[in-house]
Structure 1
């Protein structure tokens, strides 16, 4: 980078849009030791990356900023500060701060964050909870929270989420549910769910999908299905499905013996 291009960089500003100045900064000793650098490593800067660099190099300073008015500073400070100082932040007005608290504090201290009004906090809780508390999150009003929940609940619980209103959630269910109950999702109304089902079914079970309206599902049947599923797909309306079914049928069917190939024995 040339001197001219460096000079063209915008002046760093704080969270209120004011120019960052080192004159009244309380971290003169840290600056003298090279552990902060205006425009690159600075807790007074509005840019999260520069703030995070400051706390990464000076983790002992984090506790001093847990009540700072700028939420980004509180969020980044909460990642570095001692756990013993975090409980007051359970009620922080900023969801990013509460999400960090939900990640770090023991579950016994943050149980009520399971019902936090912000989904990003509830998503963190769905990653950490277990047992009945996690199962209860399968009924969360936000699909993103339910998606995290279905990725973490035991497979035995997943049948209760087979009828989830969101297809992304049902896709994840289809990927994780036990094989013996997977056929119950054969006729889901979303093709992406049926694709996920077709990718896991036993080849003999795929015959049920030979007439699926989505060519991607039929292609999977042509690619994975048992011999019984292939004849009808050899005449499929889609040329790629037809060709794949014909190729596999030819490969799976035993070759017919050719009479006289070796001639009569003497």
Structure 2
């Protein structure tokens, strides 16, 4: 709404006049409108509306001096016209070209100086082409790569310094490699592990230090393995364990109250709470 109400100015800050535009015929057909959909406007949204309605004109604007116009044109232009834009001085333009060109043309973009361009490349490349992203300084590049790389590459990233990256590894890594992540220092990573770990291995996390991890374990682990969680320090976990055990008839004895053990006392022996009788004094009478 605010964008539509803004004054229509071109990329140099000058007022836009439709009579000075080369697209008066288009304007007459209602395919563009000042302040709404205009290739000359400095606002990217208005440029985008123009190009979306007139994609056949995109090729004409790939070398426009305003980068928002070049980036918008790259979205709709002929693919054969895009390779030069991989060297554009503006990262937004390079990123758009990277998103559209075939993989064999954009492998080198995974090493671009701009983070957004490398993210665009990581979202397109596959397999070994993603190797440079494993050590990228930007965690979003690494996350994008982890979400796409083959499962057999994920062990290379399971010790990433960022817990969000490791969480994505835990969501995708082969189950045979997942137990090693039970000891991750971040509880949110361990919770992801608990959500995927095979049931017969969940006991590894029964005594985890984090409430969220143990609760996830209590939700998934076999009922027979829930007994230790009946003594959990957190009430919700104890209640969940008790509720699940109660649904299994052959485990009913686990929830039965323990009988009080009565100890028979020897009447001839002094009671524990009684002091022994005073011993007679052995001092000689004077």
Pair in the same fold by TM > 0.5: yes
Please say which structure displays the higher CA radius of gyration: 2
The 8 Å contact of residues 82 and 97 in structure 2, kept in 1 or not, is answered as yes
Relative to 1, partners in 2 of residues 1:163 and 1:34: Cα closer, same or farther, differing over 3 Å? same
The answer as to 2:107 corresponding to 1:98 is no
3-state SS, counterpart of residue 147 of structure 2:
helix
The aligned counterpart of 1:17 is: 13
Q: Deviations along 1:171-220, whole A, 9 cap, x unmatched?
A: 01101111111000001000110000000112221111122111011111
Consecutive unaligned residues in structure 2, runs of 5 or more: 254-286
The 8 Å contact of residues 221 and 229 in structure 1, kept in 2 or not, is answered as no
3-state SS, counterpart of residue 152 of structure 1:
coil
The answer as to 2:236 corresponding to 1:246 is no
Relative to 1, partners in 2 of residues 1:188 and 1:31: Cα closer, same or farther, differing over 3 Å? same
The aligned counterpart of 2:268 is: none
* Structure 2 residue corresponding to 1:117, chosen from 102, 113, 117: 113
Relative to 1, partners in 2 of residues 1:110 and 1:202: Cα closer, same or farther, differing over 3 Å? closer
The aligned counterpart of 2:226 is: 230
The aligned counterpart of 1:88 is: 84
The aligned counterpart of 2:104 is: 108
The 8 Å contact of residues 246 and 252 in structure 2, kept in 1 or not, is answered as no
Q: What root-mean-square deviation, in Å, do the aligned CA atoms of Structure 1 and Structure 2 show?
A: 1.8
The aligned counterpart of 1:166 is: 162
The aligned counterpart of 2:134 is: 138
3-state SS, counterpart of residue 19 of structure 2:
coil
State the shift of 1:92 in Å. 0.6
Relative to 1, partners in 2 of residues 1:200 and 1:125: Cα closer, same or farther, differing over 3 Å? same
Cα distance in 2, alignment partners of residues 158 and 215 from structure 1: 27
Cα distance in 2, alignment partners of residues 247 and 106 from structure 1: 55
Alignment map for 1:173-212 (pairs within 5 Å): 173-212=169-208
Cα distance in 2, alignment partners of residues 174 and 126 from structure 1: 19
* Structure 2 residue corresponding to 1:127, chosen from 123, 130, 135: 123
Cα distance in 2, alignment partners of residues 193 and 255 from structure 1: 32
Cα distance in 1, alignment partners of residues 147 and 123 from structure 2: 9
Relative to 1, partners in 2 of residues 1:73 and 1:188: Cα closer, same or farther, differing over 3 Å? same
The answer as to 2:211 corresponding to 1:215 is yes
The aligned counterpart of 1:43 is: 39
Q: What is the number of equivalent residue pairs in this alignment?
A: 250
State the shift of 1:233 in Å. 1.3
Q: Deviations along 1:66-101, whole A, 9 cap, x unmatched?
A: 122221111001111111211221111111110111
* Structure 1 residue corresponding to 2:143, chosen from 143, 147, 150: 147
Consecutive unaligned residues in structure 1, runs of 5 or more: 1-7, 258-266
TM-score, normalised with respect to structure 2:
0.82
TM-score, normalised with respect to structure 1:
0.88
State the shift of 1:239 in Å. 0.8
Relative to 1, partners in 2 of residues 1:110 and 1:203: Cα closer, same or farther, differing over 3 Å? closer
3-state SS, counterpart of residue 15 of structure 1:
coil
